[in-house]
Structure 1
Amino acid sequence: MIPSLLPTYNRVDLAFEHGQGSWLVTAGGERYLDLGAGIAVNALGHAHPALVEALTEQGAKLWHVSNLYTIPQQQKLADKLVDLTFADTAFFTNSGTEACELAVKMARKHWYDKGQPERTRIIGFEGSFHGRSSAGIAAAGGEKLTKGFGPLLPGFTHLPFGDMDGLTNALSGGEVAAVIIEPVQGEGGIRPVPDDELTAIRVACDEAGALLIFDEVQCGMGRTGRLFAHEYSGVTPDIMMVAKGIGGGFPLGAVLATEDAASGMVAGTHGSTYGGNPLACAIGARVVDIIADPEFLNEVNRKAGLLRQKLEGLVAAHPNVFDAVRGTGLMLGLKCKAPNTDVLTACYGAGVLCVPAADNVLRILPALTIEDEDIAEAITRLETAAKAVEGQTQ
C-alpha cells in the first residue's frame, strides 16, 4: 500500500523541531551540527534574526498578489542583482529547477528571434545536475536522472567533464543555442571547473556564436567565497541560474541575463504564479544585502580556510576512510575510500549532518555564518564518525 507521502525520497529517520545558527534540534532534544544547510540553502543558518525580521515584517503586510501587478519588492531585488552582477535583467522563480526551464527557453527563443530557429541544441557535461524537470534531466543526461522518463526532451548533447576538444567539435555545426555548465559541480561530487577551462568555454562559445549558461544554483550566493563562483575566473555568462542560498531557506530562484540573451523573452513568453512574490523577494533582498557585503565574504573565506585545514588533517589521520578534500570556499567535499553511505550513517550517529554526492563524496556545505567553535566541533564529530567506520572494517 502506497504511503500518503509519495515515496520518492530515501529519508533518514530524523525529524527536527527547531534550529538556531548551525544547529538543528529534534523533538527529543538531540542536537545535530548541520554541515548540509538544507543542501546549500540555509546560507545564513537557521533562524537568522535579520531573515526572521524580514519575514515577519513583510508577512504582516502582503504575501501574494500575482504578477498581474507591479511588485515593489521584486523590483528592489532585481535592481540589487543587476547592480552586483553581469546581468541587465532578472526573472524570479521558486526554485533552481524552474530557473533551468527558463534558461533553456530563453536560449532557444533568443536564436528563434534572431532568425536562426535551427539553433536549438544545448550542450551539457557529464556529472552535472540541473534539477529534475524534463528540461533539467535532459540537460544533465545521467542515467540515474533519466531512466524510465523517456522520451526525453530532445536537443541536448552531453560531453565528458572537461572535454574541451569535444566541445569545440560539438559547437562547429551551427545548431548550438547554448552551453550549460556548473562552475562547481555539486551533485557530481564537488568538482570545480578550472578557471582556464571556463575561459576556454567562453572563448569557444563566442567563436561559435553560442550563448553560455552558468548554473550557480548550488555554488552561488557566497558559497565559494565570492558572490558567484564564476567571478574567480573573470568569465561572465550570458544567462545564469540562481536559487538555493538566495532565499536563505525560503523558496526563491532567479534567472539573470544580459539584455541580448533575454531579448526574445517579451510579454507572454514566460510566467509564474508564485515567482517573485512579495514575501520571497523581501527575504531575498535581505539575504543579498548580507552576503554581498565584502566583509561578510572575507569572513566566509577565512572560515573556509580554517575548515579546509582541519579537514585536511582529518583525512591525513584516517587514510582508510578518506582520500582527499576537494572544492572551494564553504563548498567542500570529502572524497571517501570507505563507501560514503557508511560514512554518512556514522556521521548521523555522531550528531553531524552532511550530504552525499556522486564519486563517493560527502559534501560539507555549512552555513556561511558557521562559528569557529562549531567548525572545531564539526571536526570532533567527523573524527568520531571516522573511528566508527574504521571499527566496522577491523
Structure 2
Amino acid sequence: MTDALLECIFRNDVDQLMRIITPENASEEKEKKYKIKISDSFLLFPKSGLTLLHIAAYANSMECFIYLHSKCNFPLEIQSLDLKMPFHYAVNSGAADIVIYILHNYEARYGREKLIQDFFKKDYTNQEQKYGPTSCSIIFAAATSKQPQVLSALFKYGFDCTKFASKCKFKLQEALSTVVKARNVESLKILLKNIQPSTYKDEKSLLLAAIDYNQIEAIPLLLESGCDPNYVTPDNKTAMYRACFYSSVDAVRILAEAMYDVDIPSKTRAQAAVHWICQSKSIEIAKILCAKGIDVNRVDQDGNTGPFYIIDMDIPQEQTIGILQILLDHGLDINFHEKGKLTILGYFLTSINTTKNAKIIDFLLQNGADPNAEVFSSGYMSNSNTKMTCKDKLRKIAKNDELKAVYKKYFGELETTPKK
C-alpha cells in the first residue's frame, strides 16, 4: 500500500489518492512518516521522516497537495522528523506553483508578519557554516532549484536580503555562486535586484551589483543577456569604476573586452578612468584601460587629475612609479594642473608620506616635472600658506639621505639657506 500511495502522489494522480485517503481517515495519516526512494543530488533535505504533504510538495504534485491540504486538513506548517515544512521541499525542488500556494494561503490565514517569522526569519539569523542534510538556507535552496519563479515568489511575499545578520550574509554569496555556476541568468538577475533593492533598482545596475558581491563569473552572463556595461549611475559611477574600486583585474579585463569606450562621457566633470586607475593601485588595470585610449589628463569635479588619487597610498613606490610610467606613455602631461591646484610633483612633495616618496620624486623630476611650479607650505591653497617652488619645498623637506640625494642629483649640494 505504501508504494502505491507514494506512486500516485509522484504521478499527481489525485483520483487514486482520493480512493486511498479520505477526509475521514486522514487524521491518522497525518502522523505517519514516509521515506522517498529517489536519487536526487540536488535535494538538500532528508529523504525520510516525511509526511505525504512533504512528498507532494517535493514531487510538484499540485492537485494532490491541494487535496491533502484543503480536504484532508494537512496543515501547511506540518513538520517532518527533521523539523522541515513542505515549503522547504517545494522550494528546493522548484515547485513554484506549490510555493506560491503555500505562501498565499499562509499569509491569508496568519498575516505577513507571521509568514516571515515562520518561513524566512531563521535564514536571517541562523548561522550555519556548512549546508548539510539537516540544515539549509531557504535562499540557497531556491537558488539550487533553478526556477526563477521560486525566487520571485519569496521576494513577493517578503523575503528581505537586507535583514541578514552579518554572520549570515555568506548565504547570499552561496546563492549567487550557485545560480552563476548553473548559468541561470534569470535567477541571477532576481537575486542581484533584491540583495540591495534601494541600490540596485533595475537591470541597468546589475553589473555593478555582481561586482560588489564579487561574482566576477556573473559578468559574462549579464553581458550576454543584454546588460549595458556603459550604464552610468546618477552619481557618475559605472561597472568599470566598481571593478577598479575593488582592484579586480579580471572584472576590468572582461568589461574592457566588451566595451569600445571604457570611460564616462567626455563632457562629464567627474572621476573618470584615469582616476579609477590610480584608485585601483594596479599596474595591470592601468595597462588595460590605457590601451583603450582613455584621456589620461582629465580632471574630476574637484579639479584633480588622476595621479592625485595615488598620493599617500600604502603601496611600494615602485608600484606607484609603474602606474605613472604607463600614464606618461599614454600622454599624461606631467605638469598639467588647474588653477589653485598643484602639479603631480607638488602633491608628492606636500603629501603626508613625503619622506617615503624619494624614488617617486626622483622619477617625476627625471621625466620633466617642473621644479619651479608653485606649491603651498601645507599642500593646498590658503591665505595663511606661504608660496614656494617645488625646488624650495624639496630643499625644505630633505631631511633624510634619500631626499638629500634627489636634491643633489638635480640641483647640486643642499644649501641650508636658499640663495637670494
TM-score range, shorter chain: under 0.3
Structure having the higher Rg: 2
Higher share in strand: 1
Higher share in helix: 2
Query: Which one has more relative contact order, counting CA pairs under 8 Å at least 6 apart?
Result: 1
Q: TM-score, normalised by structure 1?
A: 0.22
Q: TM-score, normalised by structure 2?
A: 0.21
